[in-house]
Structure 1
Amino acid sequence: MPHTSDPLRKLGFLTIGLFDESDPRPGHESTLEIIELGERLGFDSAWVRHRHLQYGISSPVAVLAAATQRTRRIDLGTAVIPLGWENPLRLAEDLATVDILSGGRLNPGVSVGPPMHYDRVRPALYPDTGDVEDFSYRRVRRLLDFVGGEPATGVSGTEGFETFSDRVQPHAPGLIRRMWYGGASLRSAQWAGENGMNFLTSSVVKAEESEDFAEIQLSHIHTFRAHHPDGARARVSQGLVVIPTDTASPEQRAKYEEYARTRTPRTTAPQGPARMLFAPDLVGTSEQIAERLYAHAAFREVDEVAFALPFTFDHEDYTQILTDIATKLGPALGWHPTA
């Protein structure tokens, strides 16, 4: 087994939270139960994806508000909230409220850009302002300013029986230091660093300099830290799809291997006009996965991860995968569970 002088410090996981359209509650309950399991297993963080007009979590902040009342220690994150669908001031209020409820455990991850299928979504989302909405990094900057306590209005003080604040309430001290940007390009990595955010990398990058996934992701990490005030100490979390099979049944192993096989073609070359490149899913024993991670140039640059759970598996599959990650893969990477 290879070793590293910098053992894995923080171990997290990411789930999409699928549900049945005709009966959505069990899917949401399953997500909350998975987060509770993650806390019992000692994971440092649990992250939820964001899916609009699909059969996955559309309101991660609401789901994480519920999770704050069913957990006590584990960090709770979003990976990521696409800000094109959000009003930064209203989102800042929601994030601060959930952070207060969690006792300071929220880690919001965000990204920018027009909403997916914008031409079709615009009439419902922005019927009157669709042509003038700003989907640039300025939208993130507005959110950061509101979260950090900058004035939102010139109104404060008492009017009649009501008292007003000129900044977002509640104010959650410390939340601004737990804001993450989910980036897949050099430009995003640089902007996140210059604006003092933390940086989420995933299993998708833009092939700008190379067609080698690990090399591209490594360049993003270096670019981010080169522009961050904290330099080499700036936080980066990697989010590859990892599926250990140590305690999986033969049927589960076959399912996992077939899942990875069908997704492999998109990893061989950049996809589409944006040249998006996907990382291969890592399927195998924890020892085999650890070997592949230690050979991954970008993994060697990080000390925290949020391994992504596959999209379409069953609850018992996620239980097995998380248990193997916490009890076998994590220790193989030098991580120790939080008591």
Structure 2
Amino acid sequence: MPLPGAPLRKLGFLTIGLFDPADPARGHNSTLEIIELGEALGFDSAWLRHRHLQYGISSPIAVMAAASQRTSRIQLGTAVTPLGWENPLRLAEDLATVDLLSGGRINSGISVGTPMNFDTIKHELYPETADQEDFGFERAARLARYISGEELRELRGKQGVVEEFSARVEPHSPTLRGRLWYGAGSLDSARRAGEHGFNLLTSSVVFAGPEHPNPRFDLVQQSQIQAFRQAAVQAGHQQARVSQGLVVIPTDSATPEQVRRYEQYVAERTPRTTAAQGPRGVLFAKDLIGSSEQIAEQLYAHAGFREVDEVAFALPFSFNQQDYEQILTDIAQRLGPVLGWRPDATA
């Protein structure tokens, strides 16, 4: 196994929070139990995917609020919230509220762009303005301004006997702006995130674009991370962070039956990773499966991984609670230490 460089500094995980539509409460409570387990195992962060009109978490802010009252240390994030579904001002209020309730542990990952399957829902989501909505980066910039405490109007102060008004979004959480993350998949979006003072979330999907005529996932991701850092430094954001989110499935303590299912899952998903797809050159990363030592060897050979010192490993979509418990335990107790990570002494 190649010798590690700098040890992994932050270890997190990402879950979609699937649920049975016949019993959605059970699925949501299972997600909360997984977050509690993550804190007990010493993970630095737990991240929630954001899904709409699917059988996954549609309201991660509500779930983070609940998780914040069951935990005391673990950071809680979204990866990512698609802003095309959101009013940035209202989202800023919710994020700040939950951040204060959590003691400053919220990390909001966001993305922009037209909502998925927009034509099927646009007249319900934006009945009067669907064709006028701007789903570009300005939506993210607005959210950042609101969270930073920028004044939005001249109206302020007391009116009447008891009503008092603020010119900025309330409540205000002073440090939340530094914990905003941007989910970028292209070179341009990575640069834009750095220029505007976001942290960078990278995942198991990238867009190669014309810059990479013969793309390889890890090299494309590496170039995007490097472009982000360069743009961030040039814009004066020297403390900008980068987190990587590949799918890893350690099998150290898995049963033979679990290993069989895990290998079948990976085999079904591997064909999509062999070539870039579509006009934007979509590339999917391979799922990494095996012992912790085998996964670590693959990670150290991954150019994107070598650029980061924090990760939020993605849990597979469709596994059960016992599978997630086994995978998280192996990541925390076996894979993390192999990568040089140690849990916070206060965990």
Q: TM-score, normalised by structure 2?
A: 0.96
The C-alpha deviation readout for 1:132-181, integer Å capped at 9, x for no partner, is 11101000000000000001222111111200001010000100000000
CA pair 253-232 structure 1, distance change in 2 beyond 3 A: farther
CA distance in 1, matches of 2:61, 2:71: 15
Match runs of 1:142-161 below 5 Å = 142-160=142-160, 161=162
Correspondence 1:269 to 2:275: yes
- Decide which moves more: 80-89 or 149-158: 149-158
CA distance in 2, matches of 1:42, 1:8: 14
Choose which of 214, 221, 239 in structure 2 pairs with 1:217: 221
Secondary structure at the counterpart of residue 94 of structure 2: helix
Match of 2:307 in 1: 301
CA distance in 2, matches of 1:221, 1:233: 14
CA distance in 2, matches of 1:126, 1:48: 25
Match runs of 1:156-171 below 5 Å = 156-160=156-160, 161-171=162-172
Match of 1:186 in 2: 187
Correspondence 1:292 to 2:293: no
CA pair 231-296 structure 1, distance change in 2 beyond 3 A: farther
- Structure 2: any 5+ residue segments left out of the alignment? none
How far the C-alpha of 1:22 sits from its partner, in A, is 1.2
The C-alpha deviation readout for 1:240-297, integer Å capped at 9, x for no partner, is 0000000000000011000000000110011223321100000100000000000001
Match runs of 1:9-88 below 5 Å = 9-88=9-88
Secondary structure at the counterpart of residue 258 of structure 2: helix
How far the C-alpha of 1:205 sits from its partner, in A, is 0.2
Answer yes or no: is the 8 Å Cα contact 2:197–2:237 preserved in 1. Answer: no
CA distance in 1, matches of 2:135, 2:263: 38
How far the C-alpha of 1:107 sits from its partner, in A, is 0.4
Secondary structure at the counterpart of residue 121 of structure 2: helix
Answer yes or no: is the 8 Å Cα contact 2:205–2:285 preserved in 1. Answer: yes
Match of 1:206 in 2: 207
CA distance in 1, matches of 2:5, 2:118: 46
CA distance in 1, matches of 2:50, 2:74: 19
Secondary structure at the counterpart of residue 228 of structure 1: helix
Answer yes or no: is the 8 Å Cα contact 2:206–2:284 preserved in 1. Answer: yes
Q: TM-score, normalised by structure 1?
A: 0.98
Match of 2:178 in 1: 177
CA distance in 1, matches of 2:253, 2:68: 30
Give the letter for the 2:299 counterpart.
Answer: L
Give the letter for the 2:137 counterpart.
Answer: Y
CA distance in 2, matches of 1:121, 1:166: 34
Match of 2:319 in 1: 313
The root-mean-square deviation of aligned C-alpha atoms, in Å, is 1.0
- Structure 1: any 5+ residue segments left out of the alignment? none
How far the C-alpha of 1:233 sits from its partner, in A, is 4.9
Give the letter for the 1:58 counterpart.
Answer: S
How far the C-alpha of 1:232 sits from its partner, in A, is 6.8
CA distance in 2, matches of 1:271, 1:102: 41
Q: What is the count of residue pairs matched by the alignment?
A: 339
CA distance in 1, matches of 2:147, 2:82: 16
How far the C-alpha of 1:110 sits from its partner, in A, is 0.1
